[in-house]
């Protein structure tokens, strides 16, 4: 197709722009129009997909037939079958009369199904039958009817992703995608943004009887660099807003920026990507939930260590005497040294008892990092010391102990069936067997 022919189509359908991707999309639409092939138009919302469906219909042998554009996302799921295929009288509550559907009304014409990805699965089955055999059945009827309708569909979502998620039929996707047309977004069209802006402001100046808006070079640069998530629809709204509200008719970048909404960014937490060996061993998703849980547990362990220091200071009466506290911490430094992830603990290992200075109390520490039990017995103090042994002991933070408990729970839940227990734990059977051996649970 020659550039002159493409320009002629643009003028006929009011399409403005010279971007290469736009010209190619128009060329594909014009080439497929004379056939009866099903077309799937892909593009973001507001990028002008309906204009391409009109090109296909107007340049086809069906141009004298009816053209109907339907937004599948705007029709409730309970009535879309009736809208598309019709219904018989009394087929459902409120069906006081028989009604023809769009596929019956547009026989010999073209139906444009916009937002096809929002169509319910049940309706997708009916549509597939129309595309395959040209047959449909009204709601509440058993009579098969014929129709000769060309279907042009459009979507702003990734239909292949919807197929993988079970929200769209795979057979229907390949039936619709006979000829795909990709409509470029506005931010991909470069200088077309300013051309469209000038066209819109000229139209609105005539409509509202005001002087047209013009932009200084820095404002043009700002406009063409804006992302326009709403595409042409958003640009048109901004042009009308400026035409009506702006007192100055020649805008610089600072004045234009007031009408361009700040790009919204999300402050939600996100996972960081691994930069170590995991990133090169197939774990491209970054840190796993297990890694994050480790970090949380280590942070909790550090807080517990700080709490132990405070309890030890209060128990020995060294509070407020930093030199004595530092000496005490030095003598018991083995209790507070940071540790790596605990591995290979012996479940039968007895707790270790530590004596505090001056024989004031005994310090019993679990090998799994549990909260110590302080038994006060100060021989040099005649005053009774408050017994705090009734306080609830802190739950162990050992990852191995927790992992062992979770394995036991999973095995108990599934009646010692290791296959199902491994699936529930999110690990392979091989890993589960290795863990059972590690924790001496092979006989469980």
The pLDDT of residue 371 is 43
User: Does residue 313 surpass a pLDDT of 80?
Assistant: no
Q: What is the pLDDT of residue 96?
A: 85
Give the tens place of pLDDT for each residue, 248-265.
889 999 999 999 987 543
pLDDT, tens only, 180-236: 999 999 999 999 999 999 999 999 999 988 899 999 999 999 999 999 999 999 999
The 10s digit of each residue's pLDDT in 399-421 is 778 888 888 888 888 888 888 88
Predicted confidence band at 316 (pLDDT cuts at 50, 70, 90)?
A: low
Model-level pTM greater than 0.75? no
| Rounded Cα distance, 410 and 404, in Å | 10
Are residues 376 and 315 in contact, defined by beta-carbon separation less than 8 angstroms? yes
* pLDDT for the residue 263: 59
Give the count of beta carbons closer than 10 Å to the beta carbon of residue 112: 25
Q: Provide the pLDDT for residue 424.
A: 83
For the segment 46-52, the average pLDDT, to the nearest whole number, is: 93
What contacts 364, CB < 8 A, 6 or more positions away? Answer: 351, 352, 353, 354, 372, 373, 375
Residue 104: predicted pLDDT: 93
List Cα–Cα distances, 137 to 26, 44, 103, 127, 213, in angstroms: 35, 33, 10, 11, 54
> Which of these ranges, 26-30, 64-68, 345-349, has the smallest mean pLDDT?
345-349
Please tell me the total number of residues recorded for the chain in this structure: 444
pLDDT value, residue 146: 95
State residue 6's pLDDT score: 94
Q: What is the pLDDT of residues 56-112, one digit of tens each?
A: 999 999 999 999 999 998 998 889 999 999 999 888 888 888 899 999 999 999 999
Architecture per CATH, 187-257: Orthogonal Bundle (1.10)
- pLDDT tens digits, 175-191: 999 999 999 999 999 99
Q: SS3 for the chain, per residue?
A: CCHHHHHHHHHHHCCCCCCHHHHHHHHHHHHHCCCCCCEEEECCCCCCHHHHHHHHHHCCCCCCCCEEEEEHHHCCCCCHHHHHHCECCCCCCCCCCCECCHHHHCCCCEEEEECHHHCCHHHHHHHHHHHHHCEEECECCCCEEECCCEEEEEECCCHHHHHHCCCCCHHHHHHHCCEEEECCCHHHCCCHHHHHHHHHHHHHHHHHCCCCCEECHHHHHHHHHCCCCCHHHHHHHHHHHHHHHCCCCEECHHHHHCCCCCCCCCCCCCCCCCCCHHHHCCCCCCCCHHHHHHHHHHHHHHHHHHHHHHHHHHHCCCCCCHHHHHHHHHHCHHHHCCCCCCCCCCCCCCCEEEECHHHCEEEEECCCCCCCEEEECCCCCCCCCCCCCCCCCCCCCCHHHHHHHHHHHHHHHCCCCHHHHHHHHCCCHHHHHHHHHHCCCCCC
Which pLDDT score, from 0 to 100, does residue 291 have? 63
- Computed over its alpha carbons, how large is the radius of gyration of the chain? 36
Is 378 exposed, middle or buried, given 0-12, 13-18 or 19+ CB atoms closer than 10 A?
Answer: middle
Contact 385, 376 (CB under 8 A): yes
Most confident of 161-170, 288-297, 435-444: 161-170
Domain parsing of the chain, residue ranges: 3-184, 187-257, 289-376, 399-438
Mean pLDDT of 141-145: 92
Indicate whether 269 pLDDT > 60.
Answer: no
User: According to CATH, what is the number of the domain 3-184?
Assistant: 3.40.50.300
Q: Which residue has the higher pLDDT, 398 or 128?
A: 128
What is the mean pLDDT of the segment spanning 163-168?
93
For residue 293 the two structure tokens come to 């849980």
pLDDT, the chain, mean = 79
Domain 399-438 has CATH 1.10.238: no
List the structure tokens of 122.
């049940």
Count CB neighbours of 205 within 10 A.
Answer: 17
Lowest mean pLDDT among 113-122, 251-260, 297-306, 357-366: 357-366
Q: What is the mean pLDDT of residues 266-286?
A: 41
Match 């092939």 to its residue by tokens.
Answer: 37
CA proximity to 183, closest of 120, 114, 238: 114
Neighbours of 138 (CB within 10 A): 22
């Amino acid at each position: 197709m020659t550039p002159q022919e493409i320009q002629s189509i643009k003028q006929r359908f009011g399409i403005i722009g010279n971007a290469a991707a736009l010209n190619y999309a128009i060329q594909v639409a014009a080439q497929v129009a004379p056939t009866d092939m099903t077309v799937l138009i892909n593009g973001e919302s507001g990028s002008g997909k309906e204009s391409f469906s009109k090109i296909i219909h107007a340049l086809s042998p069906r141009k004298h037939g009816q053209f109907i554009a339907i937004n599948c996302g705007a029709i409730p799921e309970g009535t879309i079958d009736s809208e598309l295929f019709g219904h018989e009288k009394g087929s459902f509550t409120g069906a006081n009369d028989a009604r023809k559907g769009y596929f019956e009304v547009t026989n010999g014409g073209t139906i444009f199904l916009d937002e096809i990805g929002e169509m319910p699965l049940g309706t997708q089955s009916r549509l597939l039958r129309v595309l395959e055999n040209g047959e449909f059945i009204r709601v509440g009827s058993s009579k098969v009817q014929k129709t000769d309708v060309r279907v042009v569909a459009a979507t702003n979502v990734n239909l292949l992703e919807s197929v993988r998620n079970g929200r769209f039929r795979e057979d229907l996707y390949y039936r619709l995608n006979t000829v795909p047309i990709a409509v470029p977004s506005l931010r991909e069209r470069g200088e077309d943004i300013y051309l469209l802006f000038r066209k819109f402001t000229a139209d609105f100046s005539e409509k509202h009887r005001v002087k047209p808006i013009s932009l200084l070079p820095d404002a043009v640069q700002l406009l063409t660099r804006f992302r326009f998530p709403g595409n042409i629809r958003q640009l048109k709204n901004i042009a009308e807003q400026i035409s009506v509200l702006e007192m100055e008719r020649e805008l610089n970048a600072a004045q234009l920026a007031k009408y361009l909404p700040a790009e919204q960014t999300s402050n939600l937490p996100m996972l960081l990507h691994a930069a170590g060996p995991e990133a090169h061993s197939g774990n491209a998703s970054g840190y796993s939930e297990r890694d994050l849980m480790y970090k949380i547990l280590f942070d909790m362990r550090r807080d517990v260590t700080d709490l132990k220091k405070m309890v030890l200071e209060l128990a020995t009466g060294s509070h407020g005497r930093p030199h004595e506290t530092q000496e005490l911490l030095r003598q018991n430094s083995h209790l507070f040294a940071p540790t790596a992830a605990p591995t290979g603990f012996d479940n039968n290992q007895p707790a270790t008892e530590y004596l505090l200075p001056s024989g004031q109390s005994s310090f019993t520490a679990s090998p799994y990092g549990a909260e110590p039990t302080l038994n006060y017995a100060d021989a040099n103090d005649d005053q009774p010391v408050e017994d705090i042994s009734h306080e609830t002991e802190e739950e162990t933070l050992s990852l191995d102990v927790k992992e062992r408990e979770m394995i036991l729970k999973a095995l108990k839940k599934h009646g010692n069936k290791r296959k199902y227990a491994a699936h529930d734990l999110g690990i392979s059977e091989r890993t589960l067997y290795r863990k059972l051996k590690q924790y001496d649970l092979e006989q469980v």
